[in-house]
Amino acid sequence: MSEDARWLAGLGEQARARLPREVYDYVAQGAREGVTAGEAAWAWHGHRLHPHVLRDVTDVDLSVPVLDGRAGVPWGIAPTTLQGAVHPDGELAVARATAEVDGLMVLTSNAGVTVEEVAATGVRWWLQAYLPSDRTLAIPLLRRAVAAGAGAVVLTVDTPVVATKYAAERAAVERRHPDLVGTNLELAAPNAEKALDLGPHDLDWLRELTGLPVVVKGVLRADDAVRCVQAGAAAVWVSNHGGRQLDRAVATAAALPDVVAAVGGRAQVYVDGGVRSGIDVVTALALGADAVFLGRPVMWALVEGELGVARMHREIGVQTVETLRLAGCSSVSDARGLASPAGLRSLAQAADLQ
């Protein structure tokens, strides 16, 4: 294991030591007792890979097709708010580092910087959106994102209400960092009541308003994935919101295979939740994900600013290439089917490995 691999594995503890307590707690916490958040990483450990041999792995291609082209790497940046509380450069540091690897960044609608500033970094980016009960409140930000070059709209659907947290609340972090309230926060109408009546018609509305492909984020069930595809979703994103919404929701590593099977290639399938290493990335790809997204590791790496996020990308890349070579794969597409849900051990067994 390289020195950087040890650095990557220890990012969370490094962040705990360096961040103000309320910022660390806000990022790290899950909803209520944190059951779902706590299971996320170890759920990937329960799958087993079935490697090929006698394959030429001299050159490994990490690029993957995404909705607006081809990304240079199969992992991207999940939308995460209050990045500026972790480092003053916040989203712009993440964007610049991600642009260097030709990666994809999904910008939260609650970002503390403008969409124009992010676009100016040259990163490939999509806008994550919540829909308020009054849909018209979302229009200004959506139109501004289109004008700035967003490649897709990612509709988060698992947050009709904000779940109870027992640790730091966002308001406490914002009081300490009032400068984080930027243009996007104002355009996104953060205090507006979230829609309790989201439905398939909202995908049509978003697509017609923006002219962009729509990704539905927060899907954990096969039947819901089918409804999304039937409603015109270009991609379905398997996510439990980092364990920050419904506690005791299923781990994404367990939900992914059924969603992939149900979608059946009619749309792309993405996944986040507990991905901490290159071997986790390959495991998700082997289970059928078209791309994998990182949340907390990005925030922990961001403690060191742009250099930290760039280092994270490099190490994930080294680990992903090594894993693909050991699995007999010269491209990301070769990894598909190398893992089976039948290889998933119980989370309790996986936890015993700690």
CB neighbour list of residue 76: distance below 8 Å, 6 or more residues apart: 98, 103, 104, 105, 106, 270, 291, 292, 293, 294
CB 173, CB 22: distance < 8 Å? yes
Closest CA to 245 of 219, 280, 215, 214: 219
Longest dimension (CA), the chain: 58
Contacts of range 115-120, beta carbons closer than 8 Å, 24 or more positions apart: 115/141, 115/144, 115/145, 115/148, 115/150, 115/184, 116/144, 116/148, 117/91, 117/92, 118/91, 118/92, 118/148, 119/148, 119/149, 119/150
Q: Does residue 241 carry a catalytic annotation?
A: yes
Q: Where are the beta strands (DSSP E) in the chain?
A: 64-66, 69-71, 75-77, 104-107, 124-129, 153-156, 214-219, 235-238, 268-272, 291-294
Catalytic-labelled residue, pool 45, 87, 177, 241: 241
CB 209 within 8 A of CB 182: no
Residue with tokens 């490995």: 353
Mention every residue, 6+ apart, whose C-beta is less than 8 A from residue 352. Answer: none
Residues contacting residue 267 through CB under 8 Å, at least 6 positions apart: 228, 229, 233, 234, 235, 236
CB-based contact 150:127 (threshold 8 Å): yes
CA dihedral 250, 313, 333, 158 (to 10 degrees): 30
Q: Collapsing DSSP states into helix, strand and coil, what is residue 130?
A: coil
Amino acid present at 125: W
Q: Given the structure tokens 């792995």, which residue do they identify?
A: 57
Instruction: Give me the active site residues, please.
Output: 241
